[in-house]
Amino acid sequence: MTDGSTILVTGGAGYIGSHVVLALLDAGLRVVVLDDLSTGCREAVPPGVPLVQASTGDAAAVRTAIRSCGVGAIVHMAGSLIAPESVVDPVRYWRNNLANTLILAEACVAEGVTRLVFSSTAAVYGIPDRLPVDEDAPCRPINPYGASKHAAEQLLQAISAAHRLEVVALRYFNVAGADPAGRAGQRVAGATHLIKVACEAALGQRREVAIYGEDYDTPDGTGIRDYIHVTDLARAHVEALRHLAMGGETAVLNCGYGRGHSVRAVLRAVERATGVTLPVRVAPRRPGDPPAVVAAAQRIRSLLAWRPAFDDLDSIIADAISWERRMAGQSRRQLWS
């Protein structure tokens, strides 16, 4: 059993995970990160936060971290998350997103951890019958990413029903932006997030921006997504933990704003913000990409004390650009140092 005073964040050295760590610290909570650094960056872990370099698939390392750090709640963010990649490498996605979640959940039960917030995805819905899509809509994922996350949700719900483990699954829509104070952002080279790609192209760090498909049944033919600022999403994890700490029950919640923006609308917004005409190439659709996904976002606002502070595409893009400029400046300084 643990004293329950520390929050363990798996995947806390990643893009979203590092923002969640900051939100937890800002809320006055004690945090430890568990990350194998396969895609995360050690530099993303704030100074003073312990880092356990291990995989969630390493049962002994997970249990040792829980015991030695006095962990009472876990935010489980470690996993694989690129839908088209999951189509060509499904084994890795099922292992990271389902098998490793089972190992983590077993550790929770064995070590007496009673609260878990799970990083899920809107990809569980597949191609929704209607928009916006709410949490009770059928889950018909069209790629291994969504399928493995949906299976992990079901696994955790079954374990929650049988054991003293309450779970909030947060279904992320399209996460973008960076910490407004410049403390964190997307660090991974070659990332596929549209807003990051477009910002890098505007700053001359990429040759072009590819639009994957312009023949969807949408107003301008390009895919539509509900973009949520990463800082707002991070705060949702804090509120989910607070919900569980106050005796709240297991829940599944969409994390989005309830408004969609097309690929071309996003690119126009980046051009407005930077004054740069982006080099664009139209490419075929990618396997596993739905035409449009927009959240019904009422449930999270009614269940949690969560209100978005950055619900604006231009704000998301402004923070993303600021972060990319900061990273470019650091690279130049390192080059000449």
77 within 8 A of 16, measured Cβ to Cβ: yes
DSSP class of 122: G
Angstrom distance (rounded) from CA 138 to CA 232: 26
The sign of the dihedral angle between the CA atoms of 37, 40, 43, 45 is negative
Please name the residue that has the structure tokens 């054991």. 163
Angstrom distance (rounded) from CA 198 to CA 202: 6
CB-side exposure of 72: number of CA atoms within 13 Å?
11
> One of 145, 172, 212, 216 is an active-site residue; which one?
145
CB-based contacts of 227, cutoff 8 Å, min separation 6: 173, 174, 175, 176, 195, 257, 261, 266, 313, 316
Give catalytic status of residue 145 as yes or no.
yes
Establish whether the linkage from the previous residue to 219 is cis, with ω within 30° of 0. no
Please name the residue that has the structure tokens 């430890």. 32
The residue type found at 35 is D
Angstrom distance (rounded) from CA 18 to CA 9: 9
75 within 8 A of 14, measured Cβ to Cβ: no
CB-side exposure of 77: number of CA atoms within 13 Å?
27
Angstrom distance (rounded) from CA 175 to CA 195: 9
Residue 33 β-bridge partners = 9, 51
b/e map 13-27, b = 16+ CB within 10 Å: bbbbbbbbbbbbbee
Q: What residues are annotated to the active site?
A: 145
